[in-house]
Amino acid sequence: MNPVTQLRPAATDLAEASGVPRALLAPPRPADAQATVIPLRPAEPPGTAPTPGPPQDADPLGAADAGVELRIAGIARSVCQGALEVLGGSRPLQQMARWLDTENYERLQLRANLVRCVGARPAGRGGEVPGSTDRHVVVRSARVCPVSPGVYEASVVAFDRKRVRAVALRIEQRRGAWRVTALEIG
């Protein structure tokens, strides 16, 4: 008698006695039977022959690596958060120099100065500034789109306690480092 069939009655009796659902046991196969391997391929539309070569939905810009896109999304999130904190006055502008090119650095500096001048309120009693000067920025989402090799565009949605903002960035690889070459804060 086959050892599997000998164990079946004991296994089902044990399962019934304990109240545990019974395990499904496959019927024994002959030793000489082999499994049939069926290669899986996507279905072709009727009347068309499979075409050799790369798939039709290949990336036209040349296989964009998912790891690079994740890194670019991280850079976009960090730069967006940093820029909004600079505008809020809770981060020094000098920390953004590594990420921004000269033109965008100067534009962010000008905008931060304008925000500081417009937002200046007279001091309350005792010389303190009314309201909170600390602005906590939360990045909600970031989307990255490859434009060409070494060039990506990203859109970021961030919340800074007062309102939700949209930020658009263009990130390019220059001399082995990623730099933001366009920064638009809404």
Q: Is the pLDDT of residue 4 over 80?
A: no
Q: What are residue 134's DSSP bridge partners?
A: none
The separation between CA 166 and the C-alpha centre of its own chain, rounded to angstroms, equals 16
* Cβ 84 vs Cβ 158: under 8 Å: yes
| Chain segment 47-94, per-residue pLDDT in tens | 666 555 555 555 544 445 778 899 999 999 999 999 999 988 888 999
pTM equals: 0.59
Among 68, 56, 77, 71, which residue's Cα sits nearest to residue 142? 77
Residue that is written with structure tokens 């040349």 in the block: 62
Q: What are residue 153's DSSP bridge partners?
A: 145, 170
| Chain segment 144-161, per-residue pLDDT in tens | 999 999 999 999 999 988
Residues in the chain: 186
